[in-house]
A and B are shown apart, each in its own frame.
Chain A
Amino acid sequence: AQTVTQSQPEMSVQEAETVTLSCTYDTSENNYYLFWYKQPPSRQMILVIRQEAYKQQNATENRFSVNFQKAAKSFSLKISDSQLGDTAMYFCAFKGKGAQKLVFGQGTRLTINP
């Protein structure tokens, strides 16, 4: 069974700083997808970024980028020039190609301080 681990329950940085959230996963599959979701205080689940395991190039979405290390089974999220609106819970998630569910990590609560 796949597992996803986020080892940082909470993080806090100053506005405009860069912050990296860690995620590791365990799977025997070779083709899968990885996701980062943001959950602000409104509790809405918002997709931040997606990475396909077959693509070697790291995904980027504006200030958000990932460092995908397939051999190490690591998928960290980097937020550049952090903003107050980035304050949220962040979840790393895995989905196998034939799977019927997302497997989520425990979440990292990120606070951006003014």
Chain B
Amino acid sequence: EAQVTQNPRYLITVTGKKLTVTCSQNMNHEYMSWYRQDPGLGLRQIYYSMNVEVTDKGDVPEGYKVSRKEKRNFPLILESPSPNQTSLYFCASSLTGQAQETQYFGPGTRLLVL
């Protein structure tokens, strides 16, 4: 089944404790992206990647890192999480990132930073 998976689905952590949210897709997609969803703000892009070893900042990249060492994986790293990073996070992918392509979203990761 074609899908985007994220782990963990729920995470409670404390300020400053490094964490990684994994994202994997099995559709051989070149384009992958991370969004965060906050009430009243919709979804905002954090980082995106056009292909292996090619990443770039989105609208809200501060406090986040990403890497793209393999085509299928695009982990989101919070080196020193803070309470303002409490949010719902989505990974998404599409074939090449063109506007007309359907973006496939993962199931979401709910993060609480205490």
Chain A contact residues, CB within 8 Å of chain B: 4, 6, 9, 32-33, 42-45, 47, 50, 52, 91, 93, 95-102, 104-107
Contacts and interface: CB of A to CB of B under 8 A. Distances in A.
Interface string B64-92: 00000000000000000000000010101
A101 B45 contact: yes
B83 to A, nearest CB: 21
B99 A99 contact: yes
Interface of B: 31, 33, 35, 40-45, 48, 50, 56, 58-59, 88, 90, 92, 97-100, 102-103, 105, 107-108, 110
A50 B103 CA distance: 11
A54 to B, nearest CB: 11
Given A100-B31, A100-B48, A107-B42, 6 more contacts: A9-B40, A45-B105, A45-B108, A52-B100, A101-B45, A102-B103
Contacts of B88: 43
Interface on chain B toward A: helix, strand, loop, or mixed SS?
Answer: strand
B48 A102 contact: no
A95 B99 contact: yes
A93 B88 CA distance: 18
A104 B44 contact: yes
Contact of B42 (A4, A32, A97, A99): A4
Nearest to A43: B108
Contacts of B50: 100
A33 B92 CA distance: 17
Contacts of A105: 42
A33 B99 contact: yes
Contact of A101 (B59, B90, B102): B59
A91 to B, nearest CB: 6
B100 A101 contact: no
A6 B99 CA distance: 21
B100 A44 contact: no
A10 B107 CA distance: 23
A107 B39 CA distance: 9
A44 B97 contact: no
Given A32-B99, A99-B99, A101-B59, A45 B90 contact: yes
